[in-house]
Amino acid sequence: MARQQKKEDKTSTAVALRRTLPHNLEAEDAVLGAFLTDADILADHLSGLSEEDFYSHANRTVFVCMKDLAAKSMPVDIVTVTGKLEREEKLQEAGGLERLEELADTLPSAANCEYYIGIIKRDALMRRIISTCGMVIDNAFSLDDSQKALAIAEASIYEIGTNNQKGELVPIGEPTLEVVDRLSEVFKTKKPATGLMTHYRNLDRMTNGFMPGQMIILAARPGCGKTSFAMSIATNIAKYSPEKVVAAFNLEMSSQELVQRILVSLTRIDNSTMIKGEETQEELQKLFEAQRQLSDSKLFIDDTASQTAEEIMSKCRRLKAKQKRLDLVIIDYLQLMSPSKNRDGNRQQEVADTSRFIKMMAKELKVPVIVLSQMSRDIEKREDKTPMLADLRESGSIEQDADMVFFLNNADGENEDTVEKKNVSLIIAKHRNGATGTIYYVFDKKHMRFSVAVNKKQAESAPSQQEGAPENAGDVARDMQEEDGYGYYAEDEFAPIEEPEGGAFDLSELQDAADFIPPADEE
């Protein structure tokens, strides 16, 4: 009975789709006739049409011939079009000489021609919608995965909308006025426009925050902690900006593993201690407090493996609609995503397609997207292991699509998993709208935490001697002006540290360093 009902449903759908598709042959003929007889109309409107906009196969053939002639800067008229079609043996396919002469006798005014083009494009869009809906219906019948069918449906409809939106040339005065108004506001308030803050002050100052529509690549060799760093940013936002909505997709770890890492970072309880249940009563209280803090935040996680970019975009679109906002998306990691199109084993092209779609997603949802990426093994063959843009694995298009590219690198060369604390550098190798440079951190693997170092000298000396490192470079620099020594924050208290090997250095030495970031002005 169910099989019979499914068959009847599919049959009724097929009957509905067999109705005559929207078209207007008179409008198509009038536009082609205008192109044949009026060079100005041709120049104004030829580029705004495509072959698929024409319903009649004969009209498509004539239009393609016209477009080829115009592309070669040749005149487009009855003589040149007829000659080209004859040489290519397509004259009969275009309806013959008599039909071309009939087209040339059609003389609509320029105003009427614009109206007819509007009709053509309206009908073409309707046909695309019908065709796409047919494909969506077929997928609903044939696919077993409802979420995949939904993601394909949403992506397909979205693609129609984006393809139908064509930008226009505008007088430069319009965007100039907008830019000057924004800069004037910055001048008056002395507060530059900023994006989403990571709450790592040195990173925020270098990037001015993550802006809507940006695609940020975070790549690293194994063992550097790129997942931990990305989740540290998410945790910072959940802790300090709980109203912000963050979506984290981890295609490798389970949600429980991810949450445990976040709890370790928030509570500073040793991961092994947590696993064995050896916490103290005080540490257990910290764990409950961290759980309540995360519950009050708007951090959403998804551990579904082998997702496509379309599926991730579908989930983000629904989350944004439900929460009325979306502030950050994190994807861990690019090479684990399933390709949307079969490229016959061409992995590089599959990764390029995925990268391009993620950039489109960032623009459409108006949200920064952090994408973790693997690096090529070629870096292991070099004596200098400092990452370069060419080290991004499997596709140069990743570099092209990204607005920012970060490399997390072991500053001291330690790459063993047994090393509990590592001096790492965050190399900003590409920044489309700002400066590049290097920021120094200490990665405490035991507690899944990244702490900011004032500069490389501190990163190389402080972690090996003490349990903590500066959480905030600006605060450390300011306190260095007040203290004789040089220090870091442990928990919420300031504590001095041992004099670094090689002798002490003063604040002026730090200020001369290229990587020094001055403290923020006091409010």
Tokens of 31: 């536009």
Among the listed residues 364, 67, 362, 413, the one whose alpha carbon sits nearest the alpha carbon of residue 217: 362
Buried b or exposed e, range 47-75, using 16+ CB within 10 angstroms: eebeeebbbbebbbbbbbbbbebbeeeee
Is 252 noted as a catalytic residue in this protein? yes
Rounded CA gap, 485 and 100, in Å?
A: 89
Rounded CA gap, 123 and 133, in Å?
A: 15
Rounded CA gap, 115 and 178, in Å?
A: 32
Rounded CA gap, 33 and 105, in Å?
A: 7
Write the DSSP string, 169-180: ---THHHHHHHH
Rounded CA gap, 208 and 468, in Å?
A: 26
Q: How many residues does the chain have?
A: 523
Q: With beta carbons less than 8 A apart as the criterion, state whether 25 and 116 touch.
A: no
Rounded CA gap, 24 and 305, in Å?
A: 47
CA angle 7, 8, 12 (to 5 degrees): 120
The helix (H) or strand (E) run that includes residue 34 is helix 25-37
> Rounded to a whole number, what is the distance in angstroms from the first to the last CA of the chain?
73
Residue type at 328? L
Among the listed residues 427, 428, 429, 454, the one whose alpha carbon sits nearest the alpha carbon of residue 509: 454
The helix (H) or strand (E) run that includes residue 19 is none
Rounded CA gap, 474 and 487, in Å?
A: 12
Among 52, 102, 252, 257, the one annotated catalytic: 252
Tokens of 216: 């940020």
Rounded CA gap, 399 and 496, in Å?
A: 42
Among the listed residues 324, 299, 327, 296, the one whose alpha carbon sits nearest the alpha carbon of residue 209: 327
3-state SS track over 298-354: EEEEECCCCCEHHHHHHHHHHHHHHHCCCCEEEEECHHHCECCCCCCCCHHHHHHHH
Tokens of 381: 């063959």
Rounded CA gap, 464 and 258, in Å?
A: 27
Cβ-based neighbour number of residue 228 at 10 Å: 21
Q: With beta carbons less than 8 A apart as the criterion, state whether 58 and 23 touch.
A: no
Give the Å distances, CA to CA, from 217 to 235, 302, 405, 426, 430: 18, 19, 5, 12, 9
Q: Just list the catalytic residues.
A: 252
